[in-house]
Amino acid sequence: MKKSILPFLLCGICMVSGCAAFNSRIVGSGYFQGVRCDYNEMFHPETFDPQCRINPALAAVDMPFSFVGDILFMPNDIYYSREKSGKPKLFAPDFHASGFEDANDAKACFDSYNQVFVVRILEDYWEDRGPHKFALHHYKATVAKCYKGKWNVGETLAFTTALDGRAPNETNVCAGSDMLLLSNKRAKKELTFDTGVYFAADTNLQLILQSVFKR
């Protein structure tokens, strides 16, 4: 009879053990929450609601299993800890989508310029200069954020980009959108940007900027 009960008893212990590793994550945060919960059940029971307390002996039995559970939950805890800290979580595909190999490649790119800033486009138009000449895309914008350099938020500026071909018959198609500009000069007159030093500042690229510049 005793032998037949033992397997059920062991199964019951395994089923209830490690509960702190699960339950503590419903109401708490941080690392090794299950072990900390069991420790407090044993030595600081006054910190728990009387209706939620368990016997300290059960907490002692539960602690080794909670430790294993905490280890298994570690990747999840790291993920949500970074999310709460406000640090963007970026992986290789995120950098590839914006034309970078990885974080080091993005940093090297931004380090090679002394002006790194995001602008909000106010208006834009195309200028067709005829056959065999680059078409110019003229923008008027305001600085939305400066990551590096001497531009101030709210400053207005004009700049142009070039297209190898005929100019589209379009006006203000970019108005309201954000662009990242990289430059080694700050001029009051219209700036000209070559291909590769201006980017559409989508959400992904702005997360990369926050990651590189720790903002």
Top-level class of domain 101-213: mainly beta
Closest to 177 measured CA to CA, from 149, 152, 199, 154: 199
CA distance 119 to 182: 11
What does the pLDDT read at residue 59?
Answer: 75
CA distance 211 to 213: 6
Question: From the first residue on, what is the mean pLDDT of each consecutive set of 10 residues in the chain (215 residues)?
Answer: 47 48 52 77 71 74 80 72 60 87 92 94 93 90 94 93 86 93 83 78 90 82
What does the pLDDT read at residue 84?
Answer: 56
Is 27 buried (19+), middle (13-18) or exposed (0-12) by CB count in 10 A?
A: exposed
List the beta strands (DSSP E) in 48-98.
Answer: none
**Residues 6 or more apart whose Cβ sits within 8 Å of residue 45:** 53, 56
3-state helix, strand, coil in the chain (%, to 5): 45, 20, 35
What does the pLDDT read at residue 81?
Answer: 64
What does the pLDDT read at residue 122?
Answer: 96
CA distance 105 to 99: 9
What does the pLDDT read at residue 60?
Answer: 81
What does the pLDDT read at residue 19?
Answer: 57
CA distances from 126 to 129, 133, 187 (A): 10, 13, 22
Measure the CA angle with vertex 181, ends 178 and 186; round to 5°: 130
Tokens standing for residue 190: 């219209």
CA distance 113 to 182: 6
Query: Are 166 and 133 a contacting pair, CB within 8 Å?
Result: no
What residue has token string 């503590």? 24
Give per-residue pLDDT as tens, 50-72: 666 677 887 788 788 888 877 87
What does the pLDDT read at residue 8?
Answer: 47
CA distance 205 to 106: 10
Q: Where would I find the H helices in 86-184? A: 92-97, 103-111
Query: What is the β-pairing status of strands 156-163 and 191-193?
Result: parallel
What's this model's pTM, rounded to 2 decimal places?
0.58
The domain spans of the chain are 2-84, 101-213
